[in-house]
């Protein structure tokens, strides 16, 4: 028997109690295992659908249960509201955009509970880091966790021997694969190695899935409560740069900037830019909508398409110039004449964006609608909104950081609303309504492109085939029926359920008597 700390005798079987830190680590590892099991059950071998919503909701719960919640009840309610709003798009349709919103919202809600003192703009950056940092976090965290376990210091020292071999082995394998593709001898040696017996009863794909799932959920369970500003300060300190030196360096760099962007240079630039933009606007008005004849061999559709995207790039470049030249508190911003010229030029840029939208609309009328052209419309609207925000920043004397935040909010809201729009159906409806077969002008309906968009286009195809003089090409006659059957089979798995697919299923039931396929 051995005496304990109070001098009493203790049987040799007495062992020190498990520390709270070790209990915390055990709980976190259990949560990661549970999340990986859930991911395997929901995703492996199944199509995406309601499973995405369910998994992200469970991941948010795991994060809240395994990390200290420092938020007030009001902040907890707000975090739940953010999570619900972020998961709604994935319930409507499991697209890459809705999944991005779901993951970002889950990370944002988890950080809101763990770090309520951080402002919303910084938390967005931390959410992106949290969602993408899994593969970079695991090995570093495991090293720290090992030291917290009994005998962990010795184990950590021994594990250093293995850790230093991770990078050499990974890159060594990559280089070996590259050499085998370039050297027939090495390729022959590697081909002679038969690994089938080793992997005969092992699913490499499933192991890779589990590893990926573990790395993806890891940062949500082991949330690091780092202060971004403090990290930046430490990085500057490590480089030997203090605040005063950084300030002086910034002032020194302003010399070249102020030499190029003097009020006189900005004034002359705005005069030249306004003249050029006015000329472009007048030409667009004359050729596109004024009825002026174009040069021989140039159609209105070609004229419209040629300028749609370059004009948007021009508007973006103009916006960048205004942001750089009209710095808050600068002499140029205080000049009444320069302010007037900036407003006039920005107004011309708005007209330029409208012209780009009308150009693209003319091209779409002639050559039909596609995903990329629809995305271009959304992008042009965002550029126009950004120009309006630049004017607001100058009028209300806001900072450039305010402008960045405002544009970020407008971008986020626009993309969020896009999650609820059935783009395949919208594209198919437009192309069917404006095809030459039904409208008498435009281009012939590209049914191959429509079928590539998925089963959501089938109601539009039904309207197209309702005309007795229209039929699908022979190689496409079975496609609608095959797509409908595949959709019905997919909906048999509840994991793949989405609101949009459910609505399409109701359409198939209501129109089961259609014999056009």
Question: Of 446, 451, 425, which is closest to residue 435 (Cα–Cα)?
Answer: 446
What residues make up the domain containing 289?
Answer: 261-418
Residue 48 within any structural domain of the chain: yes
Residue 10 within any structural domain of the chain: no
pTM higher than the cut 0.75: no
Residue 367 within any structural domain of the chain: yes
pLDDT band at 303 (very low <50, low <70, confident <90, very high): low
Spatial distance between the Cα atoms of 504 and 484, rounded to a whole number of angstroms: 9
pLDDT band at 264 (very low <50, low <70, confident <90, very high): confident
- Please compute, for residue 149, the number of CA atoms within 13 A of its CA located in the half-sphere on the CB side: 12
Number of residues written out for the chain: 517
- For 196-256, the three-class secondary structure string (H helix, E strand, C coil) is CCCCCCCCHHHHHHHHHHHHHHHHHHCCCCCCHHHHHHHHHHHCCCCHHHHHHHHHHHHHH
pLDDT at 255: 47
pLDDT at 182: 54
**Cβ(380)–Cβ(328) under 8 Å?**
no
Instruction: Give one DSSP letter per residue of 378-434, joined into a string.
Output: HHHHHHHHHHHHHHHHHHTT--HHHHHHHHHHHHHHHHHHHTTS-HHHHHHHHHHHH
pLDDT at 199: 59
Residues 431 and 414 in one domain: no
Residue 161 within any structural domain of the chain: no
Residue 76 within any structural domain of the chain: yes
Residues 338 and 412 in one domain: yes
Residues 441 and 412 in one domain: no
**Neighbour tally for 47: CB within 10 Å:** 15
Residues 334 and 468 in one domain: no
**Cβ(76)–Cβ(43) under 8 Å?**
no
Residue appearing with tokens 């793949």: 496
Domain count, the chain: 3
pLDDT at 108: 92
CA torsion sign for 319, 324, 329, 333 is negative
What does pLDDT average to over the chain?
Answer: 78
**Cβ(419)–Cβ(98) under 8 Å?**
yes
Residues 118 and 212 in one domain: yes
pLDDT at 307: 56
Decide which of 418, 450, 482 is a domain's last residue: 418
Residues 444 and 467 in one domain: yes
Decide which of 379, 399, 418 is a domain's last residue: 418
| Whole-Å CA distances, 89 to 125, 128, 414, 509 | 21, 18, 13, 25
pLDDT band at 348 (very low <50, low <70, confident <90, very high): confident
**Cβ(320)–Cβ(388) under 8 Å?**
no
pLDDT at 294: 64
Residues 398 and 477 in one domain: no
Spatial distance between the Cα atoms of 467 and 99, rounded to a whole number of angstroms: 39
Model confidence pLDDT, tens digit, residues 363-400: 888 789 999 889 888 888 888 888 888 888 888 888 87
pLDDT at 139: 63
Residue 28 within any structural domain of the chain: yes
Q: Which two tokens stand for residue 368?
A: 């039909």
Instruction: Give one DSSP letter per residue of 42-57, joined into a string.
Output: HHTTS--SHHHHHHHH
pLDDT at 449: 94
Question: Of 78, 108, 102, 104, which is closest to residue 89 (Cα–Cα)?
Answer: 102
Residue 2 within any structural domain of the chain: no
**Cβ(42)–Cβ(54) under 8 Å?**
yes
Residues 446 and 479 in one domain: yes
Instruction: Check pLDDT > 60 for residue 509.
Output: yes
Decide which of 418, 439, 463 is a domain's last residue: 418
Residues 377 and 496 in one domain: no
pLDDT at 207: 85
pLDDT at 339: 83
Q: What is the DSSP letter of 286?
A: I
Instruction: Check pLDDT > 90 for residue 83.
Output: yes
pLDDT band at 261 (very low <50, low <70, confident <90, very high): low
* Average pLDDT, integer, range 209-236: 69
Residues 450 and 504 in one domain: yes
pLDDT band at 12 (very low <50, low <70, confident <90, very high): very low
pLDDT band at 248 (very low <50, low <70, confident <90, very high): very low
Residues 289 and 388 in one domain: yes
pLDDT at 338: 84
Spatial distance between the Cα atoms of 356 and 359, rounded to a whole number of angstroms: 5
* Average pLDDT, integer, range 333-355: 83
Model confidence pLDDT, tens digit, residues 121-174: 888 888 888 888 766 677 666 666 655 555 555 555 555 555 555 556 666 766
Residue 186 within any structural domain of the chain: no
Model confidence pLDDT, tens digit, residues 311-322: 666 766 777 777
Structure-derived torsion over alpha carbons of residues 283, 285, 287, 290, reported in degrees to the nearest 10: -140
**Cβ(325)–Cβ(332) under 8 Å?**
yes
Residues 93 and 199 in one domain: yes
**Cβ(104)–Cβ(127) under 8 Å?**
yes
């Amino acid at each position: 028997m051995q005496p304990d700390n109070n001098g009493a005798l203790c049987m040799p079987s007495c062992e020190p109690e498990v520390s709270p830190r070790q209990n915390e680590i055990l709980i976190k590892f259990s949560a990661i295992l549970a999340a990986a099991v859930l991911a395997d059950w929901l995703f492996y071998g199944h199509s995406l659908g309601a499973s995405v919503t369910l998994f992200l909701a469970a991941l948010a719960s795991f994060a809240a249960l395994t990390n200290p919640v420092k938020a007030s009840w009001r902040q907890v309610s707000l975090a739940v509201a953010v999570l619900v709003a972020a998961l709604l798009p994935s319930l409507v349709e499991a697209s890459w955009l809705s999944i991005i919103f779901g993951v970002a919202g889950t990370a944002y809600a988890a950080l809101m509970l763990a770090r309520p003192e951080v402002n919303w703009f910084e938390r967005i950056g931390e959410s992106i880091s949290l969602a993408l940092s899994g593969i970079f976090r695991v090995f570093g965290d495991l090293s720290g966790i090992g030291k917290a376990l009994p005998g962990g210091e010795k184990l950590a020292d021994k594990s250093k021997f293995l850790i230093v071999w991770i990078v050499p082995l990974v890159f060594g394998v990559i280089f070996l694969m590259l050499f085998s593709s370039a050297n027939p001898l090495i390729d022959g040696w590697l081909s002679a190695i038969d690994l089938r017996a080793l992997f005969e009863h092992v699913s490499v794909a499933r192991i890779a899935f589990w590893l990926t799932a573990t790395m993806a959920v890891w940062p949500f369970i082991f949330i690091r409560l780092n202060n971004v500003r403090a990290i930046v300060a430490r990085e500057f300190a490590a480089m030997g740069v203090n605040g005063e030196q950084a300030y002086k360096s910034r002032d020194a760099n302003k010399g070249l900037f102020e030499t190029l962007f003097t009020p006189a240079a900005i004034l002359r630039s705005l005069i030249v830019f306004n003249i050029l933009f006015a000329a472009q606007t007048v030409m667009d008005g004359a050729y596109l909508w004024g009825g002026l004849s174009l040069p021989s061999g140039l159609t209105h559709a070609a004229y419209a398409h040629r300028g749609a995207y370059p004009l948007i790039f021009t508007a973006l470049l103009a916006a960048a110039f205004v942001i750089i030249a009209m710095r808050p508190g600068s002499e140029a911003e205080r000049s009444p004449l320069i302010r007037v010229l900036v407003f006039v030029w920005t107004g011309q840029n708005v007209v330029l964006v409208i012209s780009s939208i009308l150009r693209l609309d003319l091209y779409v009328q002639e050559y039909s609608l596609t995903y990329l052209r629809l995305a271009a419309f959304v992008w042009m609207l965002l550029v126009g909104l950004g120009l309006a925000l630049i004017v607001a920043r100058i009028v209300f004397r806001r900072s450039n950081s305010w402008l960045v935040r405002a544009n970020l909010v407008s971008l986020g809201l626009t993309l969020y609303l896009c999650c609820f729009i059935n783009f395949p159906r919208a594209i198919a409806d437009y192309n069917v309504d404006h095809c030459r077969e039904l409208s008498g002008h435009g281009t012939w309906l590209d049914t191959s492109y429509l079928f590539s968009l998925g089963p959501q286009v089938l109601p539009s195809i039904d309207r197209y085939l309702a005309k007795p003089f229209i039929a699908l090409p022979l190689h496409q006659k079975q496609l609608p029926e095959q797509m409908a059957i595949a959709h019905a089979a997919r909906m048999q798995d509840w994991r793949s359920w989405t609101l949009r697919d459910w609505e399409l299923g109701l359409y198939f039931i209501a129109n089961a008597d259609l014999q056009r396929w």
